[in-house]
Amino acid sequence: MNNTSLPSQEEKEFESFLGSVQLQQLQTSNPLQKLSKTLLYNILFGGAICLLYCVAIIAVDALIIKAILAVLLLFSVWAVYSGYVIYSRFSPQVSVAHPVLEEMERHYTTMTAWIKKQEITGLFFYPISAAGGFMMGGAAGSGKPIIEFMSNTYVLLLLLVLVAILEPICFYLVRYFNKLLFGVHLADLKRNIDLLKEGE
């Protein structure tokens, strides 16, 4: 730009930055990039869980257990699929084609969709997975077949109490951490979107 005087502190800083930068090694710290990575890990982890359920369905004999595991498998497949749908829409790169308002709205809606997905996962996926683990772990630990282990009334009650406790804990923990990580950023985005839309 039209600077005719001595370079400012900022110009010196920028010149020093340009002198040391390696374009191919640059990394983005865009929040969407971080969410995208987390979502990918979730999908991979969910895929592994699905495979484990498949193996368990084949391995157990009791029809009722097969049915319970099949329900868990269906739920896991749904969770992985819905995660993939959000992941496929992620574009961590800032778009030049979009004006500022559209780009801020894209970031905001993508992030809120991701957070909603995480909250639903917290509400259903983690407690149900824990219940599945409880059944299989309990059976393995007691040395009894799963059906015999689960036929004990106290064990069933314990399982219900466990799920009832885990449901709100998982949901509010997910909500708390999302707010901690992205609450301020989302509030900034929303405020700026509203400011720009004002008078439209």
Partner 1 sequence: MSEKEFLQHIRDSQGIIIKVVNLYASDSEERRDYYQEILYQAWKSWPQFAGKSKFSTWLYRICLNTVLTSKRKKSRMLPTDAIGETDIAADTHTHAHSATLKEAITQLNDIDKALITLHLDGYEQPEIAAIMGITPNNVRVKLFRIKNQLSKLIKDNLNE
Q: What is the Cα–Cα distance from 97 to 78, expressed in whole angstroms?
A: 33
Query: Could you tell me which residues come within 8 angstroms of residue 123 by beta carbon, excluding any fewer than 6 positions away?
Result: 167, 170, 171
Instruction: Between 11 and 148, name the residue whose CB sits nearer to partner 1.
Output: 11
Cα three-residue angle 84-114-95, rounded to 5 degrees: 85
Task: Give Cα separations from 171 to 38, 53, 112, 157 (angstroms).
Answer: 18, 23, 15, 22
Minimum separation from the CB atom of position 102 to partner 1 (A): 5
Alpha helices, DSSP H only, in 90-152? 100-120, 126-142, 146-150
Q: Which residues bind partner 1 (CB under 8 A)?
A: 1-3, 5, 8, 10-11, 13-15, 17-18, 21, 23-24, 26-31, 93-104, 107, 182, 184-185, 188-189, 191-192, 195-197, 199-200
Taking the complex as a whole, the smallest distance from the CB of residue 176 to partner 1 amounts, in Å, to 18
User: In the complex with partner 1, which residue's Cβ is closer, 156 or 187?
Assistant: 187
2 or 88, CB closer to partner 1? 2
The dihedral through the CA atoms of 102, 106, 107, 111 has a sign that is: positive
CB of 44: closest distance to partner 1 in angstroms? 25
Nearer to partner 1, 52 or 101 (CB): 101
Cβ at position 4, least distance to partner 1 in Å: 10
Q: Please, what is the minimum distance in Å from the beta carbon of residue 169 to partner 1?
A: 27
C-alpha to C-alpha distance for 119 and 165, rounded to whole angstroms: 16
Q: Which is nearer to partner 1, 141 or 199 (CB)?
A: 199
